[in-house]
Homo-oligomer: A and B are copies of this chain.
Amino acid sequence: MDTTTETVTEIMRFVDLGGVLANAILGGIAARSARLDIVGFVILAVMSGLGGGIIRDTLLQQGPPVALTDPAYLVIAIAGAVIAFFVPFRGQWSNRTLVLVDALAVGFWAAAGAQKTLDAGLGWLPAIVMGIITAVGGGAVRDILLLRIPRIFGGNTLYATSALVSSVEMVVLSKLGMPTLGSAVALTSGAVLSLLARRFG
C-alpha cells in the first residue's frame, strides 16, 4: 500500500467512525426528546449509528455484520449514547459539528455500501440501492422505533439525492477500476449535497 492509499484509508476510517459517533449522538438526542431512559439512549444510538450497515450486511449474507465483528463500532456507538445522555447539545456550534460529520458520513457510507455489494458479486442496480440503504438506513430505523414516518420518505429529497449520487459515482468509478477515487468523490459530493439538504431541504 503506497502512502496516498494509506492516507486515504485512514481518512475513510476517520469519516466512518466519526459518522457512527455523530449518528449515535443524534440517536441519543432523539431519545431525550422522547423522554427515554439510558436504555433507550443506548438502543437508539446503536441503531442510528450502526443500523444502515447492519441491514446491508444482513442482506448481503457474507457473515455477521461488521458492526459486531469490528469492536470499534459498538464501543463508539455506546460512547455516543453516553455523551448524548450527559451533554445537553443545545449550543449552535455543537449541532453544526454533528450535522457536518453526519453529512460527511452519508457520502462515505453510500460509497462503502455500494462497493461492498459489488464485491459480493451483485450488479450495479442492487449496489446503488444498497449504498442508499447503508447511508440512510440507521436514521430510518431510528424514526420507526420512535413511531415517526422516516424523514427520508418525504420532505428531505436532497438528503436522499446525496446518498443516490454518491452510490452512483462509486459504482461508476469502481467499474472503471478506480474504487479509491470513487470513495473520495462520493464522500465529497455526498457532503456538499447533504449540507445543501440541511440548509434548503
Contacts and interface: CB of A to CB of B under 8 A. Distances in A.
Interface of A: 31, 34-40, 43-44, 46, 54, 58-61, 63-65, 68-69, 71, 74-75, 117, 120, 122-123, 125-126, 129-130, 144-150, 152-157, 160
Given A46-B129, A60-B64, A154 B37 contact: yes
Contacts of A122: 64, 68-69
B149 A147 contact: yes
Given A59-B58, A125-B74, A35 B154 contact: yes
10 contacts: A34-B149, A37-B157, A39-B153, A40-B154, A43-B152, A59-B64, A64-B120, A68-B117, A71-B125, A74-B125
A48 to B, nearest CB: 13
Contact of A129 (B74, B152, B156): B74
Given A37-B157, A71-B125, A152-B39, A61 B61 contact: yes
The 9 A-B pairs with the shortest beta carbon distances in the complex, nearest first, are A40-B153, A36-B154, A68-B126, A39-B160, A40-B154, A37-B154, A36-B153, A74-B125, A37-B157
A85 to B, nearest CB: 12
Given A59-B68, A61-B64, A129-B74, A157 B38 contact: yes
